[in-house]
Every structure is written in C-alpha cells, then in structure tokens.
Amino acid sequence: MDRIQVAIIGSGNIGTDLMIKLLRHGRRLQIAALVGVDPESDGLARARRLGVETTHEGLDGLRAMPVYRDIGIVFDATSAGAHARHAAVLRADGKRVIDLTPAAIGPYAVPAVGLDPHLDAPNLNMVTCGGQATIPIVAAVSRVAPVRYAEIVASIASKSAGPGTRANIDEFTETTARALEIVGGAARGKAIIVLNPAEPPLMMRDTVYCLTEGGDPAAIRASIQRMVAAVAAYVPGYRLKQEVQFETLDAAACAAILRQPSAAPGLKVGVFLEVEGAGHYLPAYAGNLDIMTSAALAAAERMAERSHPANAEVA
C-alpha cells in the first residue's frame, strides 16, 4: 500500500506528540518531515533520532526540502496567527491541511460528529482540545433533545499548556463556542478554559452543561454513552468521570440561564469527563494534547481512505 506522505509544522508539545503517533500508529500515513523554528528544540532533536527529516527554518524550510513535492497532507501545530499565513501558502501549493490551532479557517472537524462531508476540504480545523472533548457530548444531546444553551469548562494541567496554547486563549474560547453551535447543534454556546497549576498535575477534566427543551433522560443518557464509546475508539483515555446528571428547571431558572425575560421550562444535563493521555510524549495527565493529536490522526486517516478507497480495508 502506498501511504500518503505528511509533514508537521510545529515542533512543540502537540507537533512532537503527533509525530510519535504517526510513527507508531499511522496506517495510511507516513511522516516525512517535522518543521520548527528553534534549532535546539527537543522535538526536532527527537525527530532526528527517530529518522524523521527536519528543518528549523519554518514553512520556507519545508518548501525547500526535496520531500515537499511528495507531501499530501500538512499538519499545522503552531498558533492561530501563524496558521493564517501558512494556510494561504499551502493552499497555493496544493497541499491539504489539518489545522490544530484555533484559527478556524476551514470547516470544523470532529471525527465522531459529521466529519465525512468535509473530508474533501483543503483545510480542516480541529477546533480545540476542549472542543474535541465536549462537542461530541453536545451533539449527542442534540440528537435526542433540542439544546437551547451549552456551556463547557475545560480544565487542563498548566504543565501541559505550551506557548501556543497560552497565546491562543481568546481564540480557544471563541472557536470552541462557535463549534458548540455549528457542530454540536446548540442554539448558543459558551466555552471556558482553566489552566490548573496543581502539583502533582491533574488530568484533563471537562464539564458540559446543556439546557434542553425537555427530552427523555434515558434517551439522552443512552445517546451520550454511545458517543463516549465512539470518541474512545480513537482516544482510548476518554471516559465519563461519573453518571450523567439531570435537573428539571422551571421557567424562571431557564430564563436566567438564557438571559431572557421569559423562557419555557427545561432540563439541565450535566456531563463530567476525564481524558487520560497515552503518554507518547508528555505524561498521562496531558489529555488535552492526546485528544487533539488523536483526533487529527483519525481525521487524516479518514482523508487518506477517501483519497485511496482501494485501501479502505486497512484496519
């Protein structure tokens, strides 16, 4: 089987973890190059030890490499601002792009929720770590009950938040909130991220609250459980931390949440998640890294399968 050659721009935590996943688990994909801007970065050094070609001259350096002409997919694991510049160049060069920043230039890509219509897009946006963890849950609720409002809180260990994450806090909240609506199906979404400085570091935790227009708790719970299993198929450390919680709210409580003069009564659904990382590059507490790189790998494998349907039987 001819595997699609891929490159990663960004030799930080996310880019390095993704490189290791590609080396260990890539089926239809082969890592050809890791790109950075710091010649002393640990990611580039590790890539060289693993036999992966590298450059510390950014996208220009990648474009100058002989392997560039054969690369079919480029993962961008830099920052939202940098991706805006990279995307235009890569598109002009005919490269498919999977964006692991919150730039949101292309359609939102969540492997467990409606990815197939976007597999031919030139640029896929992986939303955010919090988005990958929580959007599937909102979508699961939306499938069985209209979601009037969805609010998520993503809590990650401070040690697992690199410079790119810290530089993109505003983009994180804005992109995740929009994706809760566009992909998750909520009428209105809100996202919050917490960098937890606790020592020892805590695993990624995500809290999801949905305000629905009624709905059957048993049907909502079953839909959520099916969705958790679907996400765990490509993020093994993804799980419910406790049972789904329900609370019936009167009209006044719903109006206060929605910030409206009046509202119909509703059902509040509380979902509490934990994401344990695979420990490929950072320790298990860095579930925020693992869910992003695992989702990006899953999306790229689906893109590769679409491009080479004869190889679809590869497990």
Which active-site residues does the annotation give?
129
Strands 53-55 and 123-125: unpaired
Which two three-digit tokens encode residue 151?
């609010």
Which two three-digit tokens encode residue 124?
């896929």
Which residues have CB under 8 Å from 245's CB, separation 6+? 269, 270, 271, 272
Strands of the 123-125 sheet, one edge to the other: 53-55, 29-35, 4-9, 71-76, 96-99, 123-125
Which residues have CB under 8 Å from 233's CB, separation 6+? none
d(CA 245, CA 66): 55
